[in-house]
Amino acid sequence: MKNRSVRLAALVPIVGLATSLALATFAAPVAAQSPDTALINGRIITLDERSTTVEALAVRDGKIVAVGRSADIRDLAGPATRIVDLGGRTVIPGLIDSHMHAIRAALFYATEVNWIGARSIPEAMGRIAAAARTARPGQWIIVAGGWTEQQFAEKRRPTMTELLAAAPDHPVYIQLFYAAALLNPAGFKALNIASDADVPPRGRIERDAGGHPTGWIDGDNPTITALFDKLPLPSFDDSVAGTRQFFRELNRLGLTGIGDPGGFNLTAKSYLPLFRVWQDRALTVRVVFSLFAQRPGKEFEDYQNLTQMLPMGFGDDMLRFNGIGENVTWGMYNNDTPTDAQKQQYYEVARWAAARGMTLTQHWSNDVSVHHLLDVFERVNRELPIAGLRWSIARLNDGSVANFQRMKALGVGWLMQDAMYFGGDALIRTRGADVAKHTPPIRTAMNIGVRIGGGTDAHRVMSYNPFVSLQWIIDGRTVAGTPTRDTDELPGREEALRLYTQGSAWFTHDDGRRSALTAGRLADLAVLTKDFTGIAADEIGGIESLLTMVGGRIVYAAGPFAALEEKAGR
Ligand SMILES: [Zn+2]
């Protein structure tokens, strides 16, 4: 990379190499230690303890080696140093989504269409039509969630007629959360669904007043998961390509790290494309992953087998194993009324994890029933202290003070997502505006001292865009623009940024190593299209990265920096 800087000098905002005077001043030993890259003339939000903003920083061997004034950082440069003039742009530490089903999203990314950011049904249908134009005959066109009708100007779901117009010849599958899916006639035919009997359990074909199928299949989480399982899987090569493309897409939005909690439809084999990309040194997002329960009733046996050669923390800075969850046992997953036997089974797995020093994360939706989970955690904790293991609960949007206090006492953190960005309007309708004022109670939990990581839970139930999530953390407005949270539950901009960097890094055992732009930390950062601290709150969701760096490598670059992007892999 180093010898590219001369060639690039003519193309991009590089202010030039170090002068001979500087070389003479520093002499040979210093030149050998000179930075690989120097970023100058920026507004660099370091997120250090004193909230310092600096102009410039220098990177060597993947880490930040100095921060300060542009002139001082320029003085460190050697003949091979790549100097990038930021032109006054804002730089933030790389964002970390602490709970994103990214490994699964990546598998399908090359063969799926997404509706993230589409503001109308014609725009969404345009993406389907574009995919249909390039798809092979008979190839599925799939939108696997990550959208809501609330994002469309029409405020309704698309119809089969609209779908037919966009993609008349290809089978199409459109998933809405885990509640429904829309298929066109070619889709129904390809899946051999002619009546309710052909739909997975508890699902049914929606019919209009005249008894004609609307194209929608309604169901619950297992119904839609089983329906999705009927779709053809992408090939290994498609999944490798999808993984590379999806992670670059995350880089485009300033993400440099994720905590991945497994997910439905994932088996051990599903991780092979990710491992290939890692082996190829082509990972552009740091992935810290946990293992999701596999066979119902055989969870414990599966964990014991699968982790024999996968000890806690195994991996490196790009890919690392982080214990079990978000589904630890099927009996306690999305179950507000677990039996004693189900709690006992969970206890046995959790105690085993604690004994092995494992991190554990559990997805739990409702505060009213989370005592079942906390009871088990406390039981384990009496026998084996878990405070150092960084266990966590994801979701819990209506979490109460009492339960956050129990979490705090256990050292259990909270993985907080922007589900209410899509769901806030429905919450107001079903539970009232007063409940929405404190859903989720971000500031309350901060005050209690619970560790909090920012995130999205993408990509089936939410968009993966971290800036949309940051905007929602800051202003509490839904995708439809409805205000929800009280001002006392709205963190400030820097606090929100800290949740999405340092907050998240705690859950992946990386606090102190990433998520601040100070000497000694890993050089993960993003140069933004807009001034995060200065623009109107409702513009934050539209921010993108112009240059994303992971471990000193420029993994994504656009606009004036486009020529600086380094090819992924060896
Ligand atoms: Zn999740």
Tens place of pLDDT per residue across the chain (570 aa): 334 433 333 333 444 333 333 333 343 444 458 999 999 999 999 999 999 999 999 999 999 999 999 999 999 999 999 999 999 999 999 999 999 999 999 998 988 999 988 999 999 999 999 999 999 999 999 999 989 999 999 999 999 999 999 999 999 999 999 999 999 999 999 999 999 999 999 999 999 999 999 999 999 999 999 999 999 989 999 999 999 999 999 999 999 999 999 998 899 999 999 999 999 999 999 999 999 999 999 999 999 999 999 999 999 999 999 999 999 999 999 999 999 999 999 999 999 999 999 999 999 999 999 999 999 999 999 999 999 999 999 999 999 999 999 999 999 999 999 999 999 999 999 999 999 999 999 999 999 999 999 999 998 888 999 999 999 999 999 999 999 999 999 999 999 999 999 999 999 999 999 999 999 999 999 999 999 999 999 999 999 999 999 999 999 999 999 999 998 776
Cα 94 to ligand 1 centroid, rounded to whole Å: 21
Cα 393 to ligand 1 centroid, rounded to whole Å: 10
Token digits of residue 19:
């002068």
Cα 101 to ligand 1 centroid, rounded to whole Å: 6
* Residue reference for tokens 């992670």: 247
Could you tell me which of 280, 278, 290 has the C-alpha nearest to residue 317? 278
Looking at residue 117, its pLDDT comes to: 87
Other CB atoms within a 10 A radius of the CB of residue 97 amount to 30
Looking at residue 353, its pLDDT comes to: 98
Cα 146 to ligand 1 centroid, rounded to whole Å: 12
CA–CA separation, 95 vs 525, rounded Å? 8
Residues 6+ apart with CB under 8 A from 333: 293, 327, 363
Q: Answer whether 78's CB lies under 8 Å from 2's CB.
A: no
Looking at residue 32, its pLDDT comes to: 55
In one letter, which amino acid is 494? E
Cα 51 to ligand 1 centroid, rounded to whole Å: 31
Could you tell me which of 460, 450, 386, 437 has the C-alpha nearest to residue 179? 460
CA–CA separation, 217 vs 196, rounded Å? 9
Could you tell me which of 541, 492, 456 has the C-alpha nearest to residue 102? 456
**Whole-structure pTM value:** 0.88
Cα 153 to ligand 1 centroid, rounded to whole Å: 28
Looking at residue 265, its pLDDT comes to: 81
Residues 6+ apart with CB under 8 A from 309: none
Cα 12 to ligand 1 centroid, rounded to whole Å: 40
Residue 238: alpha-carbon gap to chain centroid: 21
Cα 457 to ligand 1 centroid, rounded to whole Å: 5
Cα 479 to ligand 1 centroid, rounded to whole Å: 20
